[in-house]
Amino acid sequence: MAEAEAVPAVRELTYVRAINEAVRLVLAEQSTAFVAGEDVAGAGSVFGYYAGLLKEFGPERVFDTPISEEGIVGLGVGAAATGLRPVIDIMFMDFMGECMDEITNQMAKMRYMFGGAATLPITLLTMSGAGMNMAAQHSQSLEAWLCHLPGLKVVMPATPYDAKGLIIAAARDDNPVIVALNKMSLRFKGEVPEAAYEVPIGAANIVRRGENFTIVTYSRMVHEALQAAQELAELGVDAEVIDLRSLQPLDSETVLASVRKTHRAMVVHEAVRFGGLGGEIAAQIQEHAFDDLDAPVGRVGAPFSPVPFSPQLEKSYVPNAAKIVAEARRLLGA
């Protein structure tokens, strides 16, 4: 009797380990790549996702910078324009206020203003989101700022698989790509192949198929939306959940195809609801699929307030599955 073939074990990594593996593979693959930022070398970053890279690749390719976000981005722009492929780190998304001139007027514009003669293969990693009681200056989700700037690509991975694949895709791209990670996702586990692979920038992922309600979301809210979809199923609502993954460029076709099937839609994000990406997505749905809608497009986002420090207030502030279910019930008249 022939022996049964061994089934290979599923390889799982945490989100933080997937980030580390992606950057390590980028440095190994690209001799002109380097990592620069505050505390990325000796400390491996405050969240640990560059741990071990200094020892493996040396101080010429993984190095700490002064505490100057403007200087870090300026370094990245200059290095990329002269033939290198920098991976630069802005510790918290909130700190982009310190370097928005470099991002807005240099990083996003240089390739256009040089008629394509200069390429800017910059990968910028940063950390977004609330939930760790880090208060108003370390907890924001400011992706709408970045998506409003022509010349930038913006991705926000929800899973370890997508974190690794999107970082590698960003590092191989000849345009500046901002990878906004999520601090509350660092311990999430998921299947991650060992080899290098890309998750295509600009392609959404349908993480749950459904027939009569569409939830469009990204980053940590994907997990809240999936939980909400389970609760809605008990009410007879079969919700489809779309993880955008890429915010700029935006995969509008996947969203519109889903809405044309389900006839109802809601957009969910952790960022402040007013002026958030949800407004743009809702507008596109109503422009291109208005006749398919059986109800207005719903939106769930944070209230128009700085992120509170108090754990209880912060918990109340951040959108969650219960708020998604409540908005769905309102739209359904249930």
Q: Which residues are paired to 217 by β-bridges?
A: 243
What distance lies between CA 191 and its chain's CA centroid? 18
Residue 81 has pLDDT above 50, yes or no: yes
Give the closest residue to 142 by CA, choosing from 176, 93, 105: 93
Question: What is the pLDDT, as a whole number, of residue 1?
Answer: 43
User: Span 92-104, mean pLDDT?
Assistant: 97
Question: What is the pLDDT, as a whole number, of residue 74?
Answer: 97
pLDDT tens digits for 132-188? 999 999 999 999 999 999 999 999 999 999 999 999 999 999 999 999 999 999 999
Find out whether 200 and 227 touch, Cβ atoms under 8 Å: no
What DSSP assignment string belongs to 226-261? Answer: HHHHHHHHTTT--EEEEE--EEETT-HHHHHHHHHH
pLDDT tens digits for 217-258? 999 999 999 999 999 999 999 999 999 999 999 999 999 999
Rounded to whole angstroms, the Cα distance separating 88 from 65 reads: 10
In a domain, 196, yes or no: no
Do 311 and 217 fall into the same domain? yes
Question: What is the pLDDT, as a whole number, of residue 9?
Answer: 62
User: Band of the pLDDT at 8, cuts 50, 70, 90?
Assistant: low
In a domain, 199, yes or no: no
Find out whether 177 and 155 touch, Cβ atoms under 8 Å: yes
Question: Please, what is the Cα angle at 39 between 154 and 12, to 5 degrees?
Answer: 60
User: Band of the pLDDT at 7, cuts 50, 70, 90?
Assistant: low
pTM for the whole structure: 0.95
Q: How many CB atoms lie within 10 A of CB 60?
A: 7
H-assigned helices in 173-320? 221-233, 252-262, 277-288, 311-317
Structure tokens belonging to residue 33: 């790549």
Q: Which of 191, 223, 249 is the last residue of a domain?
A: 191
Domain coverage including residue 264: 205-332
Known active-site residue 223: no
Catalytic: which of 138, 148, 223, 288? Answer: 138
Q: Which CATH number fits the domain that encloses residue 95?
A: 3.40.50.970
In a domain, 200, yes or no: no
